[in-house]
Amino acid sequence: MSASVLYMSMSLDGYIAGPNDQPGNPGGDGFMRLHAWFATADGEFFRPSGPAGEFIDEFNATGAVLAGRRTVEQADHWGGDHHGVPIFVPSHRPPGASVANYPRVTYVSDGIESAMTQAKAAAGDRNVLVHGAYTAQRALEAGVLDELQIHQIPVLFGEGRRLFELLPSRIELEIVRVIDTPEATHIRYRVNR
């Protein structure tokens, strides 16, 4: 059965983006430090060896993406191609004109639950990759986020955008897997319902 999984690199103090995170500076200042375990300083991605490479394989084996509007707009919808799978964007506002050029991108206006249902249907028996802090928070609130794969980076940002800034209540998690590498501690959690 398909699961929805948030994949996120995060500083030890909970930041997923640095200061000055805005359209002209997606991810903010120092953002690539959070991704150094699988990307060069100039943003070229690679498959690391060992267990870290297996996380990249898991990420690329997902069958659909559910991502927040801010995330997709800063990434220009990944040019309409996020590892060849459909992209679903929950949003109460209609998409900009450029989305017409990206047939794999679908804006969903009737809530995160509907967006997740559509993403899971598109993914079939593969998992749904979830992107974006606000989207992750809303998916947790709605009870439609199944797992979190957090790549804990040994750095303290001190400011920026936190992953779990606003949650409606306490959410219990079960640790499913922990793998330490020199660049990050990779922790997979299951959301307890």
Q: How confident is the model at residue 31 (pLDDT cuts 50, 70, 90)?
A: very high
Q: pLDDT tens across 52-109, in order?
A: 888 889 989 999 999 999 999 888 898 999 999 999 999 999 998 889 899 999 999 9
Count of domains observed in the chain: 1
∠ CA(23), CA(25), CA(26), 5° rounding? 70
Q: Domain residues for 126?
A: 4-191
C-alpha to C-alpha distance for 132 and 16, rounded to whole angstroms: 9
Q: How confident is the model at residue 148 (pLDDT cuts 50, 70, 90)?
A: very high
Q: What pLDDT score does 42 carry?
A: 80
Q: What pLDDT score does 116 carry?
A: 98
Task: Note the pTM of the prediction, 2 decimals.
Answer: 0.93
Q: How confident is the model at residue 46 (pLDDT cuts 50, 70, 90)?
A: confident
CATH of the domain at 144: 3.40.430.10
